[in-house]
């Protein structure tokens, strides 16, 4: 039997979901500076660590927005405060699936959307080129071998919004846009696809072994 899960609803071969993370913290509550390889002495306030995440709102998120706008690519910004005010349709932290799936609860249906396995904060202190190579190779493999694939890319405003990472992010979007049948999807659109798919879950076996 031929599987019906061979392309996205609009006939495209691969969906790419961009997830900019705009994370800020109250004064004194920010994460440690991941670029610092040694710890400060006990009792000393680590000013560098405290100011490190402030880059997100001051500079990084605006650079990411500008890059997305220039490419005409939508992004799904994760801001917990706004999500809490709404009736949430989806959550984007699923690490056990390739495609969005429906999860039924006693209060209704929630869509689980997979997240990035490899994000910008893994490479910013090494070589940003690794970020480019990983996502280019992943895209090339999925585009050639797995129709109706989904690739989710996470970019943190206080990491990926810095010029050394933003340059690579911009280059990736330019590369992806060269190919036909690429859908830059919002998470809301992926969630709606899952709700309309007629199946709680679409597995790899259903797509290629049915």
Q: From the centroid of its chain, how far is CA 133?
A: 16
**Tally of CB atoms within 10 A around 26:** 6
Contact, 64 vs 155, CB < 8 A?
yes
Contact, 160 vs 63, CB < 8 A?
no
- Return the domain boundaries, the chain: 14-208
Q: Decide: pTM greater than 0.85.
A: no
Q: What is the mean predicted confidence (pLDDT) over 122-128?
A: 71
Please give the Cα distance from 21 to 76 (Å, whole number): 9
Contact, 115 vs 19, CB < 8 A?
yes
| % residues pLDDT > 90 (the chain) | 40
Q: What is the pLDDT of residues 36-45, one digit of tens each?
A: 556 667 776 6
The residue assigned the tokens 């997305």 is: 68
* Torsion, Cα of 33, 34, 39, 41 (10° steps): 10
* Torsion, Cα of 53, 54, 55, 61 (10° steps): 90
CATH architecture of 14-208: Alpha-Beta Barrel (3.20)
Q: What is the pLDDT of residues 3-33, one digit of tens each?
A: 567 889 889 999 999 988 887 766 656 565 5
Bridge partners, residue 109, by sequence: 104
């Amino acid at each position: 039997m031929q599987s019906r899960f061979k392309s996205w609803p609009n006939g495209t071969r691969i969906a790419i979901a961009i997830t900019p993370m705009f994370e800020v913290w109250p004064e004194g509550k920010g994460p440690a500076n991941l670029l610092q390889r040694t710890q400060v002495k006990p009792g000393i306030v680590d000013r560098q660590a405290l100011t490190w995440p402030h880059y997100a709102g001051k500079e990084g998120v605006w650079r990411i927005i500008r890059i997305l706008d220039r490419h005409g690519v939508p992004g799904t910004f994760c801001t917990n405060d706004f999500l809490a005010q709404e009736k949430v349709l989806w959550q984007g932290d699923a690490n056990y699936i390739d495609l969005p799936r429906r999860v039924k609860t006693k209060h209704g249906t929630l869509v689980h959307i997979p997240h990035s396995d490899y994000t910008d904060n893994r490479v910013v202190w090494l070589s940003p080129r690794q970020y480019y190579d990983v996502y280019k190779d992943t895209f090339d493999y999925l585009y050639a071998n797995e129709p109706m694939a989904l690739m989710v890319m996470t970019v943190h405003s206080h990491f990926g919004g810095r010029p050394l990472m933003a340059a690579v992010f911009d280059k990736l979007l330019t590369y992806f846009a060269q190919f036909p049948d690429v859908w830059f999807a919002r998470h809301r659109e992926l969630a709606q696809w899952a709700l309309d798919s007629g199946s709680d879950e679409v597995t790899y076996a259903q797509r290629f072994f049915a």
